[in-house]
């Protein structure tokens, strides 16, 4: 129905904390009505995926400008259109890695060599969240742990070997898989083939190509 599945626990969490929270579905044909309703709230949490409005025949620019108008009325909008524009990409986390709110082992990969070396180094340190740099509906977002749990105590102390086994869970449907480090790197770089093993994910891999 257009709602993101995880909006339900978001709303229930706020309701259980004593707030009033309603899910309202943006339909571009009812743009004016939607924003008249928004004026009755104290704050708005925007859950539209990038590209969703345009793909439905609407205008993302028109929606963003209207949300800016809501903010001018003193109603908070999270995230605001400007935050989404400048901080919406996954590499934004890398830009704050050196701050107190960041983690120094947060990396972005743009080449096969950087990914293979960087992933093995960070994976050896602590559990990872691996994301492709597009979309936010959970496909291609993996929560990864070392099956053996043999993490090093300091970042950079060691790197994983190709044959170490990983326990993975994909965020779009929470299904679990097990693969070696080498199979994961191959899947992320070149997709499904003999070297990447058998994957039950709906995704095709090839994350460096935007697949």
Q: What is the pLDDT of residues 9-22, one digit of tens each?
A: 999 999 999 999 99
Better-scored residue on pLDDT, 72 or 174: 72
**For residue 211, what pLDDT is reported?**
46
Q: Write the pLDDT tens digit of every residue in 132-191.
A: 866 555 678 999 999 999 999 999 999 999 999 999 999 888 899 999 999 999 999 999
Mean pLDDT of 35-60: 91
Q: How far apart are CA 203 and CA 79, in angstroms?
A: 27
**Count of other CB atoms within 10 angstroms of residue 146:** 19
What's the pLDDT tens digit per position in 91-122?
778 888 889 988 999 999 989 999 999 999 99
CA distances from 144 to 14, 51, 83, 134, 179 (A): 29, 28, 28, 19, 10
Average pLDDT for 57-77? 95
d(CA 205, CA 175): 16
Q: Residue 78 forms beta bridges with which residues?
A: 45
Which backbone phi and psi does 24 adopt, to 5 degrees?
-125, 135
Q: Which pLDDT does position 1 carry in this prediction?
A: 63
* pTM summary value: 0.67
What count of residues does the chain have?
211
Taking each helix axis as running N to C, give the angle between helix 112-123 and helix 181-190, from 0 to 180 degrees, rounded to the nearest 10: 150
Cα end-to-end distance, the chain, whole Å? 25
Please indicate whether residue 146 or residue 6 has the higher confidence score (pLDDT): 146
Beta bridge partner(s), residue 77: 44
The pLDDT of residue 133 is 66
């Amino acid at each position: 129905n257009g709602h993101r599945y995880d909006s339900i626990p978001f709303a229930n969490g706020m309701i259980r904390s004593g707030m009033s929270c309603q899910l309202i579905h943006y339909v571009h044909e009812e743009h004016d009505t939607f924003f008249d309703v928004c004026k009755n709230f104290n704050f708005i949490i925007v859950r539209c995926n990038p590209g969703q409005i345009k793909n439905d025949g609407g205008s993302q620019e028109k929606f963003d400008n209207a949300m800016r108008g809501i903010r001018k009325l003193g109603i908070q909008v999270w995230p605001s259109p400007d935050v989404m524009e400048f901080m919406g990409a996954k590499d934004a986390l890398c830009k704050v890695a050196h701050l107190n709110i960041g983690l120094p082992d947060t990396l972005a990969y743009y080449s096969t060599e950087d990914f293979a070396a960087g992933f093995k180094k960070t994976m050896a340190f602590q559990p990872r969240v691996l994301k492709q740099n597009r979309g936010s509906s959970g496909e291609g977002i993996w929560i990864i742990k070392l099956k053996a749990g043999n993490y090093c105590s300091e970042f950079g102390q060691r790197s994983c070997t190709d044959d170490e086994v990983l326990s993975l869970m994909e965020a779009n449907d929470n299904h679990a898989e097990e693969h070696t480090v080498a199979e994961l790197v191959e899947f992320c770089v070149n997709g499904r083939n003999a070297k990447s093993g058998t994957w039950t994910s709906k995704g095709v891999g090839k994350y460096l190509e935007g697949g």
